[in-house]
Amino acid sequence: MGNIYRLETPLKEEDVVKLRIGDKVLLSGIVYTARDAAHKRLIDLIEKNESLPIGLEGQVIYYVGPSPAPPGRPIGAAGPTTSYRMDPYAPTLIAHGIRGMIGKGKRSKEVVEAMVKHKAVYFGATGGAGALISQSIREAGIIAYEDLGPEAIWRFKVVDLPVIVVNDTMGNDLYEQGKERFRI
């Protein structure tokens, strides 16, 4: 368990179908951020058949509320938030083209099923390592929902953002299978 891949966003189906739980990925390119409130707004737009502020096809959404940028940096700490709060919205966004999500914690059965059906993956980022993770972010700017503050949709340009595959396109779950592997 644990190949290392370098991937560039936007992700293609062939990028993610080769990934397996436990694989390490260094992600480069554009990554968008969104948390609960932004997810709700995106779903509302989809339900009204209105334009979204970002194209979803092949994109990766990072569940993060970044802290303000210190002098000379594009962003402050940018550690993952707990993903299950996005679970009511994630299957719809996956069906509309999201190819990857980054966060921490388990995903619901419905999200895992959507990932299998639409060929998407869930990456884990290390909680508590927001300052370290932010070193991979070269550019950052709010592109939608500025009124949400740190929960706005941000556009990050990342280089070698370190993540681990937690759920793959086969329905495997690192949290579950990892426990079984090391159970005594």
If one counts the domains in the chain, the total is 1
User: End-to-end alpha-carbon separation of the chain, Å?
Assistant: 19
pLDDT for residue 183: 63
With tokens 């990072």, the residue in question is 62
CATH number at residue 144: 3.20.130.10
Round to whole Å and give the CA distance between 87 and 118: 15
Residues recognised as catalytic: 39
Cis bond before residue 74 (omega within 30° of 0): no
For residues 163 and 183, what is the distance between their CA atoms, to the nearest angstrom? 24
Name the CA dihedral angle for 35, 39, 40, 41, rounded to a multiple of 10 degrees: 110
* Tokens found for residue 139: 């550019």
pLDDT tens for the 184 residues of the chain, in order: 579 999 999 999 999 999 999 999 999 999 999 999 999 999 999 999 999 999 999 999 999 988 888 899 999 889 899 999 999 999 999 999 999 999 999 999 999 999 999 999 999 998 777 888 888 999 999 999 999 988 999 999 999 999 999 999 999 999 988 777 666 5
- Sort 152 into a burial class: Cβ within 10 Å, 0-12 / 13-18 / 19+: buried
Cβ partners under 8 Å of residue 91, min gap 6: 110, 111, 113, 114
Neighbours of 121 (CB within 10 A): 26
Residue 77, pLDDT score: 86
d(C-alpha 97, C-alpha 25), whole Å = 20
22: containing domain: 4-182
